[in-house]
Amino acid sequence: MPDPNATESMLTETRRFAPPADFAARAHVKSMAQYETLHARSIAEPEAFWSEVASELHWFKPWDTVLEWNLPDAKWFVGAQTNLCYNCIDRQVDAGLGDKVAIVWEGEAVGDGPGGGPEVLKLTYHDLLGRVSRFANVLKARGVKKGDVVTLYMGMVPELAVAMLACARIGAVHSVIFGGFSAQAICDRVEDGKSKLLITCDGSWRRGKVVPLKANVDQALTMTDRVKDVIVFNRCNAGVPMIDGRDHDWQTLVDAAPADCPAEPMDAEDLLFILYTSGSTGKPKGIMHTTGGYMVHTYLTAKLTFDLKADDPDELYWCTADCGWITGHSYILYGLLPNRCATLMFEGGPNHPAPDRFWDIIERHKVTKFYTAPTAIRAFMKWGDEHVEKHDLSSLKVLGTVGEPINPEAWVWYHEKIGGGRCPIVDTWWQTETGGHMLTPLPGATTTTPGSCCRPMLGIDMAVVNSDGQEVPNNTGGILVCRKPWPGMLRGIYGDRGRFVETYWSKVPGMYCPADGARIDPDGNFWITGRIDDVIVVAGHNLGTMEVESALVSHRAVAEAAVVGFPHEVKGTGVAAFVITQGELPEPGSDAAEQLKKQLIAHCGQELGPIAKPDQVRLTTALPKTRSGKIMRRLLRDIAAGHEITSDVSTLEDKGIVETLQRG
Ligand code: WT7
Could you read off the pLDDT of 489-546 as tens digits, one per residue?
999 999 999 999 999 999 999 999 999 999 999 999 999 988 888 889 999 888 888 8
Q: What is the pLDDT of residue 599?
A: 96
Contacts of 222 (CB under 8 A, 6+ apart): none
Bridge partner residues of 110 (DSSP) = 118
Task: Identify the structural domains of the chain with CATH numbers, from first to last.
Answer: 8-505 (3.40.50.12780), 535-663 (3.30.300.30)
Residues 631 and 625: beta-carbon distance below 8 Å: yes
Q: Mind listing the pLDDT tens digit for each residue in 364-399? A: 999 999 999 998 999 999 999 999 999 999 999 999
Q: 310-327: per-residue pLDDT in tens?
A: 999 999 999 999 999 999
What is the DSSP code (8-state) at residue 471? B
As a whole number, mean pLDDT of residues 220-237 equals: 97
- Residue 220 scores a pLDDT above 70: yes
User: Which of 274, 430, 438 maximizes ligand 1 atoms within 8 Å of its Cβ, making it the mutation to test the pocket?
Assistant: 430
What per-residue confidence (pLDDT) applies to 500? 98
| Angle, in degrees to the nearest 10, between helices 591-608 and 545-553 | 120
Cβ atoms of 19 and 35 within 8 Å: the answer is no
Residue 171 Cα to chain centre, angstroms = 23
pLDDT at 554: 87
Q: How far apart, in whole angstroms, are the C-alpha atoms of residue 145 and residue 521?
A: 50
* Contact residues of ligand 1, CB 6 A cut-off: 277, 326-327, 402-405, 427-432, 453, 514, 516, 528, 531, 537, 540-542
- Biggest CA–CA distance in the chain, Å, is 74
Query: 369 — phi, psi (to 5°)?
Result: -125, 135
Return the ligand 1 atom nearest residue 278 CA: 21
| 550-560 tens-digit pLDDT | 889 889 999 88
What Cα–Cα distance (Å) separates residue 639 from each residue in 71, 534, 539, 620? 42, 17, 21, 13
Please tell me the distance from the alpha carbon of residue 136 to that of residue 141, in angstroms, as a whole number. Answer: 9
What pLDDT does residue 423 have? 98
Amino acid at 185: A
Mean pLDDT, the chain, rounded, equals 93
Summarize pLDDT for 448-505 with one digit per residue, the tens.
999 999 999 999 999 999 999 999 999 898 999 999 999 999 999 999 999 999 999 9
Check if the beta carbon of residue 197 is closer than 8 Å to that of residue 148.
yes
Among 58-72, 207-221, 574-588, whose mean pLDDT is lowest? 574-588
- For position 628, what pLDDT does the model report? 65
Ligand 1 center from residue 648 Cα (angstroms): 30
pTM of the prediction? Answer: 0.90
- Amino acid sitting at position 22: D
d(CA 632, CA 658): 11
pLDDT of residue 625: 79
**Would you say residue 210 has pLDDT above 60?**
yes
Residue with CA nearest ligand 1 atom 23? 431
